[in-house]
């Protein structure tokens, strides 16, 4: 029987089968760094019927292949891609509409221009890679589309969450396994550099980089400056030097 003759598994069956089989896609076929089952279900809910994109590859690629109209998976290792394709064939998931791109996402993402309705960020987790992946993925995501960030407890990912969950351009639409967060994009990010209007930068000025005695001096100087500006506003004077 060929792949085309077999009924494709449902997402629930696919997720259960992955848990049973535990195929080792990662680290040269020695590791299973899959997204957790609830995260795979979250991906399926939001990638269904969309053009989709992910950084990293693995179980999530199979789920996207099962539900999305087209899918692009970016990770450096083509042997990982071969293992995923082979397993997909074994379990009856068509990958004919999946493009595997072998390369680091920070090099590959800037070369893409087709917009997608779903993006999953789960590639390299060292700082600043999740931020870089987010930067390019959010630009490719069309308004109304959904972004899922995996591994939010990792600070290099958490910093992206810190921005997205406060931004009026995004709405939280789900969380899975206490580590994967889904957000709907409401609007494209603006081109102007209005950093001072971003909720993420509300803590400005943050002098935590300075040694304690210097930090105290910087904070005192800032407090005096703020007081002067307030007084100037009350007295109707332009801000001084
Ligand atoms: C946590 S695993 C992804 C798991 C996958 N989402 C799943 O559900 O099985 C991390 C992935 O990032 C990939 N990776 C490592 N460095 C990368 C890079 N620079 N760019 C893109 N992907 C990278 C690894 O090859 C691996 O596929």
Over residues 56-102, the pLDDT tens digits come to: 999 999 999 999 999 999 999 999 999 999 999 999 999 999 999 99
* Atom nearest to 58 CA in ligand 1: 9
Our answer on whether the CB atom of 104 is closer than 6 Å to any ligand 1 atom is yes
The pTM assigned to this predicted structure is 0.94
- The pLDDT tens digits of the residues spanning 191-232 come to 999 999 999 999 999 999 999 999 999 999 999 999 999 999
High-pLDDT (> 70) share of the chain, %:
96
Distance 142 CA to ligand 1 centre (A): 23
Site to probe by mutation for ligand 1, drawn from 11, 124, 133 as the one with most ligand atoms within 8 Å of Cβ, is 124
pLDDT at 192: 95
Average pLDDT, the chain: 95
pLDDT at 238 over 80: no
Whether 72 is in the pocket of ligand 1, judged by its Cβ within 6 Å, is: no
- Is the Cβ atom of 58 under 6 angstroms away from ligand 1? yes
Q: Say whether the peptide bond before residue 186 is cis (omega within 30 degrees of 0).
A: no
CB 81 within 8 Å of CB 73: yes
Yes or no: say if 119 and 145 are a contact pair by the CB < 8 Å rule. Answer: yes
Residue 121 CA, ligand 1 centroid: distance in Å: 9
Q: How many angstroms separate the alpha carbon of residue 76 from the centre of ligand 1?
A: 8
In whole angstroms, what is the distance from residue 21 CA to residue 82 CA? 17
- For residue 43, with 0-12 CB atoms within 10 Å meaning exposed, 13-18 middle and 19 or more buried, which class applies? buried
Q: Left if phi > 0, otherwise alpha if psi is -120 to 50, otherwise beta: which for 54?
A: beta
130 lines ligand 1 (CB under 6 A): no
The answer to whether residue 5 scores a pLDDT higher than 70 is no
Asked whether the beta carbons of 66 and 11 are under 8 A apart, the reply is yes
Query: Going by CA atoms, what residue is nearest to atom 18 of ligand 1?
Result: 104
């Amino acid at each position: 029987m060929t792949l085309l003759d077999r009924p494709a598994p449902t997402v629930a069956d696919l997720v259960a089968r992955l848990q049973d089989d535990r195929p080792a896609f990662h680290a040269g076929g020695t590791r299973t760094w899959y997204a957790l089952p609830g995260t795979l279900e979250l991906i399926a809910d939001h990638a269904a019927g969309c053009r989709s994109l992910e950084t990293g590859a693995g179980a999530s690629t199979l789920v996207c292949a099962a539900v999305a109209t087209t899918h692009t998976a970016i990770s450096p290792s083509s042997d990982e891609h071969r293992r995923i394709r082979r397993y997909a064939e074994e379990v009856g998931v068509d990958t004919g509409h999946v493009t595997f791109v072998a390369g680091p996402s920070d090099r590959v993402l800037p070369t893409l221009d087709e917009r997608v309705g779903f993006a999953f960020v789960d590639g390299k987790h060292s700082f600043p890679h999740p931020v870089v992946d987010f930067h390019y993925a959010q630009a490719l995501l069309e308004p109304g589309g959904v972004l899922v960030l995996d591994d939010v407890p990792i600070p290099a990912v958490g910093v992206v969450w810190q921005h997205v969950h406060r931004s009026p351009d995004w709405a939280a639409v789900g969380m899975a396994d206490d580590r994967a967060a889904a957000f709907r994009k409401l609007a494209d990010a603006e081109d102007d550099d209005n950093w001072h209007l971003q909720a993420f930068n509300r803590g400005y000025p943050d002098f935590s980089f300075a040694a304690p005695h210097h930090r105290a001096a910087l904070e005192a100087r800032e407090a005096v400056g703020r007081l002067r500006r307030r007084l100037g506003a009350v007295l109707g004077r332009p801000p001084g030097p």
